[in-house]
Structure 1
């Protein structure tokens, strides 16, 4: 049976559809322009002929990026930071969220207030830099991992999810002789897969897009991650970032704009490829708490 909808409901849906279409266009148009520019000829880019479709199809920019050792070195550093950092983030989040999700834990409220305090009031830039310096973490990937080892917001999401798991399940496991660590590994982790995948995506994208941390703490070019490489390439068109060629040799083959666009596309592709495989779990985790029984 089809329910007849009022004029107000149809108007509301139409306005929502129009607003969402405008938002999608606002996001898609810049992306299409970057992709089109990366595939266009040098002359078309220099004469501003590129809009949303490649003009004078050209793959020289991608050929240069693919054979650029500096780019792949930064890419490898970023992959290392994402893998190690996300693993540490997830371990810290689960080890913190599981006990704090138990109402019977003594001192739970002061601990949670202390962690939430760090979410509201964050350390200023200069004291944070001095702390990293005193810990001898400058020019190290650990300066980009340890300060963000635990996100208070993500921890609260995980606590909310773990509270939805029946406590009787944990009591039955304790009766069978399982300790809390085995319960966390054998029961909590498999059952909390939707929120785990969501948090992994949050943490991984955060590490992948981290720009301010490397800018402050990493000066060694051999250890600069991808976002700092893009900054040097886009804002300054640093020749060391571009692969060490002279300005004359580079300008005879490529334009800075085309090279920058191709680098941005290649740096964005991994996240775009991985997201569809995590979308199902991500949606379940994103809808956490929206429905109460």
Structure 2
């Protein structure tokens, strides 16, 4: 069936709007990349747009040698890896029993969990709770309070509910217990949803900022997001670098260093996302279908 003129106009307008939206997301990153690779004179004259002028990688060299960015990057990876693993484990253990008809009181527990999406204890009670548990200045303060995202748990639970009962009954006839059922039947079938939720959790941990500032007091434990914020908001970075030679001053500016820090922060997610995109799209669509 051929598209009508109205359909072609509609799809053309959609394509144009989506292209503009994509450019509004991509061009700022390209501009920051160009700034991080340009020398001082080009940046000061405003000659840098989306292509570096006076190509130099000194900003990245000074960022690595004069700041705590390597330690902060390792901290970010630790927070993301351990936090995402814990989130996925407990989200799975929460979603599976709530999806089974055999669980007594599952409706009550589901409503009680959904209630937490609407109301929370607040920041001060939350801080006092974390402090009373002895988690202040430890990464446990970042992992345990948000161990299960209610939204993500509901997405996974919805997918589990949609798995045919005939498959579950056949597995039970073959002698599958609950743990084996979860690991051999439900988990492999939910791989796209699981990867999509892992991406959600991972990005959240990688970009963690407020909770790190609230609970983590030691600078050596700060992650990359906090370091980049400090670079943008203050002159602390230039003071940490210090002892620049006259040649460095001619090719290095705070703008280029801060731009390099932002690029270093967003680069891992940009690299990982294309490999997970197919799981991300399929997982969200499958998890949104109610059985």
The interval holding the TM-score normalised by the smaller chain is over 0.9
> What is the CA-CA distance between 1:12 and the residue it aligns to?
1.1
Query: 2:145 is paired with a residue of what secondary structure?
Result: helix
Matched residue, 2:85: 87
> What is the CA-CA distance between 1:90 and the residue it aligns to?
0.6
CA distance in 2, matches of 1:160, 1:292: 6
CA distance in 2, matches of 1:99, 1:280: 28
Normalised by the length of structure 1, the TM-score is: 0.92
> What is the CA-CA distance between 1:260 and the residue it aligns to?
0.7
Query: 1:139 is paired with a residue of what secondary structure?
Result: coil
CA contact under 8 A between 2:84 and 2:198: conserved in structure 1? Answer: yes
Matched residue, 1:120: 118
Matched residue, 1:217: 215
Matched residue, 2:240: 244
CA contact under 8 A between 2:159 and 2:288: conserved in structure 1? Answer: no
Structure 2 gaps, min length 5: none
CA contact under 8 A between 2:159 and 2:286: conserved in structure 1? Answer: yes
CA contact under 8 A between 2:158 and 2:290: conserved in structure 1? Answer: no
Which deviations, in whole Å up to 9, do the C-alpha atoms of 1:161-219 show, x marking residues without a partner? 11221122222222222210111112211111000100110000010011111011111
CA 1:282–1:217: 2 relative to 1, 3 Å: same
CA contact under 8 A between 2:66 and 2:240: conserved in structure 1? Answer: no
User: What is the total number of aligned residue pairs between the two structures?
Assistant: 289
Structure 1 residue 146 and structure 2 residue 144: aligned? yes
CA 1:134–1:292: 2 relative to 1, 3 Å: closer
2:30 paired residue among 25, 32, 52: 32
2:99 paired residue among 93, 98, 101: 101
CA 1:163–1:70: 2 relative to 1, 3 Å: same
CA distance in 2, matches of 1:292, 1:177: 28
CA distance in 2, matches of 1:291, 1:149: 24
Instruction: Within 5 Å, give how 1:60-79 maps onto structure 2.
Output: 60-68=58-66, 70-79=68-77
CA distance in 2, matches of 1:139, 1:173: 46
Structure 1 residue 129 and structure 2 residue 154: aligned? no
Normalised by the length of structure 2, the TM-score is: 0.93
CA distance in 2, matches of 1:247, 1:65: 13
What CA RMSD, in Å, does the superposition of the two structures yield over aligned residues? 2.0
The answer to which structure, 1 or 2, has the higher relative contact order (CA under 8 A, 6+ apart) is 2
CA contact under 8 A between 1:198 and 1:285: conserved in structure 2? Answer: yes
> What is the CA-CA distance between 1:138 and the residue it aligns to?
1.1
Matched residue, 1:196: 194
CA distance in 2, matches of 1:47, 1:247: 25
